[in-house]
Structure 1
Amino acid sequence: MKVLVIGAGGREHALAWQCAKFDEVEEVFVAPGNAGTQLENKLTNINVGSEDINGLIDFVKNNQVDLTIVGPEAPLVLGVVDRFQAEGLAIFGPTQDASQLEGSKAFCKNFLDRNNIPTAYYDVFTEVAPAVKYVEEKGTPIVIKADGLAAGKGVIIANTQAEAVEAINDMLEGNRFGEAGSRVVVEEFLVGEEASFIVMVDGKNILPMATSQDHKARDNGDKGPNTGGMGAYSPAPIVTDEIFQNVMDSVIRPTVDGMAAEGNPYTGFLYAGLMIDHQGNSKVLEYNCRFGDPETQPIMMRL
């Protein structure tokens, strides 16, 4: 069996490494891979970018690849799964429509609201003045999020009204995140401890993976701007057996059922970023439509 893993990060290194451990897998290609994957047994880097969908399809056809696994979010939002399926090629990941759970924070928040899945109160804005008025009404701290993909850096925690106004202006008028910031979500600042809850889904059935936590802030002491993740560990001590079951019942199952009911059945890795308060109640901060990065690395080491 031949496998292709799309992506270039530590997440893809961990996924490809785990795939290569199976005797049935003779070779794992990584597109484009990195210096680490180049050194691994049974792994081969290929010179095809993760967003070059035509190039990926050609490679899979020409090299008799049996299964493709998508690592990063960008090709998912671009519709790589839809294109592969149209060609009759096996690929694991959500469709372009289902990937809106990550590709648009406004879509995600509205979906959560429609399906009564716990999340922070929020509103969505395309103009500065109403967004600023909302901040004035709700007070600070408050969270400003670029609607689209911003490599994990499109979330600003504003501790003062001035910081909130600056973030809103930067996104809506300053073009800080390009098209990704042409619409913003302004939402409640939640207090608690974050955890990553990742499952595999086939459209209906759910297989939970190990829980994990990552460190988003750039600097020690949880300070500095958010990053895509400075490090991670697994399991997440805060996720007790009771909290685990509650998340499955109140977050994950309603999400999978809701996506199916709305005509977007979900297949692939589904990653809920949670905030867990001191009473053990969980709210969804965001959804990612792929395995976490860097959380994949400790999770794969535990399998």
Structure 2
Amino acid sequence: MRAVDRVSFDVAEGETVGLIGESGSGKTTIGRAVLGLTQASDGRILYRGEDITRLRAEQHSRFSGSQQAVFQDPYGSLNPARTVGRSLAEPLEARDGRRAAGSAAEIARMLGQVSMPAEAADRYPHAFSGGQRQRLGIARAFATRPELVVCDEATSALDVVTQAQILGLLQRLGAETGVALLFIAHNLPLVAYLAQRVVVLYRGRVMERGPAQDVHEHPLHPYTKALTLAVPSSAPAVQRARRAERAEAVRENSANATEPPPLGCPFAPRCPSVADVCMDSRPADTPVGDRLIACHLFDPRSGHPQATVTKEVV
């Protein structure tokens, strides 16, 4: 299978774009390719108009200061044998080529930026909670004043309260620094809170893209609807209703229950509106308002028996 198949999108200066999808949809592969950690087998990755797709490691290093990452595991992102101050000084030294860059004043500024006390610089990562470690990881990512930060499931390992705090921190830092964020996650409501635009992936292909709030509140693609209904609710009645709706929206409980057709829509085996054309033909990206939907239901030329000339967003 193709981990990423004809995925194309852009991230503007100061913009937050969300990459949404379940496990195995290709989100992390895209993020790693953007950062130069995974070699793309085809296609192009452009950074300010320059093709950086197949740069060697030493060539890609000149972009390391302007492109940073916040990973899922905050503890694994920090060297347990080094103090926090030493870990925060490292990217500055790599950027400036001198030890003076890691001064106490600069490190204190970085810690204050993520609401951590200056004395945290003398402690080791094991002394902090998961949320505090993620704050330290964010401080390290923003140390070089990057232009793009890739956040790969940066909140999924945290509890709900801490997730909200980290989202608020990223939102504030984005507004203060003008950094662009590529936010990778599987929770659509969470991403809609932070991002301006969202790209929904399934098995390496884009199903739907558009303004984040619109996609969250009124999903159009059958997969996006199923993804929205998969988000749990703390209210038992709401959760029961969502479970019943999802049972109607998805034909299979497991994404691996049926292999997708090689030529058609990858969601076809699980889609309640599947037709022969879905198994035999790849859907075109059809504009619907401000969105693009890769679904035969929204393409009047597709031949799908339920396709209509226009589909209005309620």
- State the TM bucket, normalised to the shorter chain: 0.3 to 0.5
The structure whose Rg is larger is 2
Q: TM-score normalised to the size of structure 2?
A: 0.33
